[in-house]
Amino acid sequence: RRAPEPLHYDELARAWAAAANGEPLDVAALADHEPMTRELAFALFCHATRVLAQRHVASSGSGEPLVFDKDDAPALWFVAATASLRSYVFGIAQRSVFDVKAIAGNIIPAVATTNAIAAGLMAVQGIRLLQQRRAGRSAIESCCTAYLAYSAKRPRSILREPLAPPNPRCPVCRRRYLTLRVLDFEKTTLGMLLQHVAALVELGDDLSVVEGARLLCDPDYQDNLGASLRSLRVAEGAMLTVACEDDAAVVPVVLSLAAPRDGSQADALVLEGIERVPHFEPLPSPSPSESSPDEQTDDGGVEVVDDEVGKRRVTRDARPVLPADSANKKRAVDVVTID
């Protein structure tokens, strides 16, 4: 596979000007059944972008974002031109506008495209965080949660919020994520790994090791302790969860297995990241109101009671209709029925 070839706006603009002899793009003469050249895809992309931008400005008062429709010519041109330019970047076979229209009407490519866009944005954000960390700035504090808002009351379509602090009751937040660098997966056994981790992290006595859905060992199954990691099909990049079977208050450890950074590692196992693991106090036992699913009341006055089979009635206290000293008077409540 060849490396991606980046495209530059100025170069494509000069190439299209030379190919069209300075004439504007005639979309009426566009050949829908033929793949586009790089210059034509660039010109169609610019034309569709201008048309859609003008449409968005004209409808900006409604607050609704533009919606793709395969029967809408400017929207189809934009998607086809973008896909063609991306194909030139990554060396993918070209498709005509007619082919793109047929593909856009299928839900599977739409889901795959959405996943690719989200994965690309995540990769860009990951690179930015690594650059901030290399520069000595805190990367986690600059992270945020971004989401789309479709309400017309919002001034923006994309909103961002800072990340919430770790929740001590969240089973994901409570886990400690560490990196374990293994010198030789052929010589290192599961027992050596478990002994090394238990000596550095307080986990208790009766431990279990799980990789995904595979149980590698637990207090009643220790046949694999003498087996090498390679024989257990545990290689670089594997994620092992080490947990205490007898004490639920002990926070599990998730190990990301990796190769040594360079050839200077002499120890068979090196555990990294202990100094960055957050400390969680043992969780108190749940109160009766938390453990009872039939009736719960929180500080905000929310009460959940079983109403009928398959339904729940949620009542939320609102402002009292009468003064607070009228103890014998009823208060107003909002009732929401949830199927």
Report how far residue 32's alpha carbon sits from residue 30's, in angstroms, rounded to the nearest whole number: 6
Report how far residue 147's alpha carbon sits from residue 144's, in angstroms, rounded to the nearest whole number: 10
Over pLDDT 90: what percentage of the chain?
Answer: 31
Predicted pLDDT at 286: 56
For the segment 174-189, what is each residue's pLDDT rounded down to a tens digit?
778 889 999 999 999 9
> Looking at residues 93-106, what average pLDDT do you find?
87
Predicted pLDDT at 193: 92
Helix, strand, or coil (residue 210): strand
Predicted pLDDT at 61: 65
Predicted pLDDT at 284: 60
Predicted pLDDT at 109: 75
Quick one: how far is CA 121 from the chain centroid?
10
Helix, strand, or coil (residue 305): strand
For the segment 16-33, what is each residue's pLDDT rounded down to a tens digit?
999 888 788 888 888 888
Report how far residue 97's alpha carbon sits from residue 76's, in angstroms, rounded to the nearest whole number: 8
Q: Which of 211, 171, 178 is nearest to 197 (CA)?
A: 178
- Percent helix, strand and coil across the chain, each to the nearest 5: 35, 20, 45
Report how far residue 259's alpha carbon sits from residue 116's, in angstroms, rounded to the nearest whole number: 28
For the segment 268-298, what is each residue's pLDDT rounded down to a tens digit?
898 887 766 656 565 565 555 544 444 444 4
> Looking at residues 245-266, what average pLDDT do you find?
83
Report how far residue 157's alpha carbon sits from residue 149's, in angstroms, rounded to the nearest whole number: 5
**The pair of three-digit structure tokens given for residue 327, joined into one six-digit string:** 């103890």
Phi and psi at 263, nearest 5°, equal -85, 5
Ranges 125-129, 148-152, 315-319, most confident: 125-129
| Residues facing 243 on adjacent strands | 208
Predicted pLDDT at 319: 38
Q: Return the ∠ at Cα 160 (arms to 157 and 161), rounded to 5°.
A: 145
Over pLDDT 70: what percentage of the chain?
Answer: 75
Q: Return the ∠ at Cα 186 (arms to 243 and 273), rounded to 5°.
A: 40
Confidence of residue 50 (pLDDT cuts 50, 70, 90): very high
Predicted pLDDT at 49: 94
Which range among 48-52, 110-114, 170-174, 251-255 shows the weakest confidence by mean pLDDT? Answer: 170-174
Predicted pLDDT at 334: 37
Report how far residue 34's alpha carbon sits from residue 89's, in angstroms, rounded to the nearest whole number: 19
Q: Helix and strand tally (H, E) in the chain?
A: 7, 12
Which range among 108-112, 114-118, 123-127, 232-236 shows the weakest confidence by mean pLDDT? Answer: 108-112
Question: Is the pLDDT assigned to residue 305 strictly greater than 50?
Answer: no
